[in-house]
Amino acid sequence: MSLPLDKRSLTLAELALVADGELFRSKERAILKVQALLATLQAGLREDLAGTTLLLPPGFDPAKAQSVKGERLEQCPYQYLDYPKHFLGDDKFTFRSLCWWGHHLVFAMIVEGGQVKQCKKNFFDRFHQLAGHGLELSLAPTLWEWKRGEGYTLPITHDRKAQLAAVLSGRAWFKIARFVPLDSPALREGHLPELGRDTFRSLLPLLIP
C-alpha cells in the first residue's frame, strides 16, 4: 500500500513502538499462554463431550478441532479454538472460544442447518434453564460478528422470551455467546478453561435431545 509523502514519516510515538523489542517479546509470551489455555480447554471439552449425548449433525467427528491465531480482526490480534467443530456443507455446529485482543473473550455456540429446528424447540421448551447464565443471542446478520451490545446481542434473561422468539423466527442459524472482559479476575487467575467449560455446560439444555 502506497502512502502519500506527507503521511510517510513516523511520529515519535510510532517510532518508540517500533523500537520497543520487549513489547513484541511480551506479546509472543501472551500468545503462547493463551494457546496453552485454549489447549487445556479443548481437553476439558473433550471429556464433557464424551460423557454427553448431544444433537450432533450427520458425519460429526469428535476428534476434529481447529486452533487459529491472526492479527487483523478489526485491526486487533485474535486467537480462537473451535471445538467441537463441524463444518460440512450447509451444516455448522461448533463451540468457538475467541480471545479478541483489545476487546473481550467470547465463548459461542454456532448452529446452522439440520440441527437448528430441534435446537430452537429446545430453546423455548427449556428457556428458563438457559436464561440467567450470562448468555446472549447474536442479532447480527452474520455468524462472524463478535461485537457485543445494543444492535449486536440480546441478553437471554427470563423476561425476554417473546423478544428472543421474534429474533429467532425464520432464522436458519443462530449463535449464542457469553462475553468475558479481558480484565476479569477469572482471566487474571488463569481460569479461561473453567469459564469455557462452564459456558458449554450452560448450553446443554439447548443441545441435549
Q: Which three cell numbers, joined as nine digits, stand for 143?
A: 455468524
Residue 119 has pLDDT above 70, yes or no: yes
Task: Identify the band that residue 1 occupies on the pLDDT scale cut at 50, 70 and 90.
Answer: low
- Tell me, what's the pLDDT at 6? 59
Model pTM score:
0.92
Considering the chain, what is the average pLDDT of its residues?
A: 93
The helix (H) or strand (E) run that includes residue 48 is helix 21-50
Bridge pairing between strands 153-155 and 173-181: unpaired
Q: Is the dihedral of CA 58, 99, 43, 120 positive or negative?
A: negative
pLDDT in tens, 161-192: 999 988 988 788 999 999 999 999 999 999 99
Residue 194 backbone zone (phi > 0: left; psi -120 to 50: alpha; other: beta): alpha
Domain range annotation of the chain? 10-207
Share of the chain above pLDDT 70, in %: 97
Is CATH 3.40.50 correct for 10-207? no
Residue 44 has pLDDT above 90, yes or no: yes
The helix (H) or strand (E) run that includes residue 109 is strand 104-112
Q: Which three cell numbers, joined as nine digits, stand for 84?
A: 467441537
